[in-house]
Amino acid sequence: MDDEIVNSAPAGVIRSPASLTATFTGGALMVSAILQPNRITTLSLCPIFHLTGIECPFCGMTRSFVSITHGDFAQAIDYNPGSPLIYAAFVWIFLVSLKDMATKQFENFSRIPRWLMQSWLLITCSIFAWLFWERMIVIIL
């Protein structure tokens, strides 16, 4: 019975870039919707933090995603200033993946405009470099 379900899907759907990215990004967004902001204020999944006691540049990302999903942008930025950019990328990739699946574009992932990708990368890398400096280097010095 399970083989019939898998075999009934169009070729390439199960392992297409669109389905994989939609699953990953959609899953992260769904988890952030399920978790309640008031119940995760002390949540820390970061192995670097648990090993060293020092926050890495990505610490607070989960709490921030939850805060953004629930509409608390100020709290999200307080948890991690770079998270709104990552969250926006997740939403963008999720929507593009759904579009690709709907249009049966299973082989290639839709291209993001070069100017948008470069701008996003520059801003995001700058923020996380600053977070790396503030959270990891300054503490050591």
Per-residue pLDDT tens digits of the chain, which is 141 residues long: 445 544 455 555 556 777 888 888 999 999 999 998 888 777 778 888 889 888 899 999 999 999 999 999 999 999 999 999 999 999 998 998 888 888 877 666 667 788 988 999 999 999 999 999 999 888 877
Structure tokens at 123: 């801003």
By three-state DSSP, how is residue 138 classified? helix
> Which amino acid type is present at position 5?
I
Task: Identify which of 26, 14, 12, 31 has the alpha carbon closest to the alpha carbon of residue 93.
Answer: 26
**pTM score above 0.95:** no
63 neighbors 81 (Cβ within 8 angstroms): no
- Summary count for the chain: helices (H), strands (E): 8, 0
Q: Which two tokens stand for residue 19?
A: 């389905």
